[in-house]
Amino acid sequence: MGRPLRDQAGVDEVLLAKLSAEVAAAAAVTLAANRNVRIKADRTPVTEADERSQTILLDAITRLMPGVAVVSEEMAIRPSRLGDVFVLVDPLDGTREFAAGSSEFTVNLAIISNREPVAGIVAVPAAGLLYRGRVRYGAERLTISRGGGRALGASQPIRVRTPPRGGVVAAVSRSHLDSATVALLDQLHIANRIACGSALKFCRIAEGAADIYPRLAPTCEWDVAAGHALVAAAGGAVTLPDGGALRYGEITRDFRVPGFIAWSDRARILEAAAPCANDAG
């Protein structure tokens, strides 16, 4: 067997597999934890599942990627300096959905190099699925155990689809759908919309079930980075609303993202979503 293909951040399939196993273990922990909610000082919710998942992931990153900075949502103190390579973690994305008893929550981990995501892992605990990808190397969907193990099951390659003209599907937030995003969907003449929580919306694009996921309201880098990497690895793109590049590691903005759009194929979506010229008459 040849040497594993390794990208500029030092991420190869061996490291990705080890991190995936830890994300699977964190996912199992979320299913076993209680769903009682506490409100943090910043007025956002947190649960035992967030904290137990974070402990597993931070310990794993320290062991598997020594010396690499980590930024996680539930950290009491986040790093004030980042290297060229760092990790973004959301130990439980969709805490509100989780607390309400919904199955639409995920565990997210992304590796960032030179402010761009190069690898992402998104586990969907309730579905027993894990999505992962390395940019320029492809994406896949795997089964995971709900019983707490780190074993990964069958793998299936995934890729974004070609958006159908007149049938573009938008993935939209179930809990955070803002008026600006609705206005954009209307402007693009996208009538088909599927609502879901957490990073599941990125997964839907990466596996070819949806074509666009816009969010024009602010969010946090750990909510976006893993899904960004997954969509890019599957052949799509995630950009700022104006089409510019989305960069990570904005310490001075407290790791906030002003808005973004995930695309299966930006050019084709803009073309497909536009009304036909002869429809006007």
Q: How confident is the model at residue 131, as a pLDDT?
A: 98
Same domain, 101 and 213: no
Same-domain pairing of 151 and 22:
yes
Higher pLDDT, 63 or 40: 63
The answer to the question of residue 8 being in a domain is no
Res. 218: pLDDT tops 70: yes
- Name every residue whose Cβ is closer than 8 Å to that of residue 202 and which is 6 or more positions away in sequence: 122, 171, 213, 226, 227, 228, 230, 231, 238, 262
Are both 142 and 189 inside the same structural domain? Answer: no
Q: Is residue 23 part of a domain?
A: yes
Indicate the pLDDT class of residue 247, thresholds 50, 70 and 90.
Answer: very high
pLDDT in tens, 139-197: 999 999 877 678 899 999 999 999 987 789 999 988 778 889 999 999 988 879 999 98
Write down the pLDDT at residue 9: 66
In a domain, 219, yes or no: yes
**Terminal CA-to-CA distance of the chain, rounded, Å?**
62
> Are residues 34 and 105 both part of a single domain?
yes
Cα–Cα distance for residue pair 53/279, rounded to 1 Å: 52
Same domain assignment for residues 93 and 176: no
- Residue 14 to residues 9, 19, 37, 50, 101, Cα–Cα distance (Å): 13, 9, 36, 26, 35
Identify whether residues 256 and 178 lie together within a single domain.
yes
Q: Specify whether 183 is located in the same domain as 153.
A: no
Does residue 3 have a pLDDT over 50? no
Q: Verify that 140 and 176 share a domain, yes or no.
A: no
Query: Does residue 164 sit within a domain?
Result: no
Does residue 3 sit within a domain?
A: no
Closest by Cα among 78, 33, 77 to 56 = 33
In a domain, 138, yes or no: yes
Whole-model pTM: value is 0.92
CATH code for the domain in which residue 35 is found: 3.30.540.10
Q: What's the number of domains the chain is made of?
A: 2
- Please report, for residues 21, 111, 150, 259, the alpha-carbon distance to residue 145 in angstroms, rounded to integers and kept in the order given: 10, 24, 7, 34
Q: Can you give the residue range of the structural domain that contains 264?
A: 169-279
Mean pLDDT for all residues in the chain:
90
Distance CA 224, CA 42 (A): 20
Query: Does 213 share its domain with 264?
Result: yes
Q: Distance between CA atoms of 209 and 68, rounded to whole angstroms?
A: 34
**17 and 129: one domain?**
yes
Asked if residue 86 and residue 175 are part of one domain, the reply reads no
Q: What is the pLDDT of residue 137?
A: 96
User: Are residues 177 and 78 part of one domain?
Assistant: no
pLDDT score of 35: 87
Helices (H), 39-121: 48-64, 95-99
Q: Does residue 2 sit within a domain?
A: no
H or E stretch at 226: helix 221-233
pLDDT digits (tens, 9 = 90+) for 48-72: 999 999 999 999 999 999 999 999 9
What CATH number did the domain enclosing 200 receive? 3.40.190.80
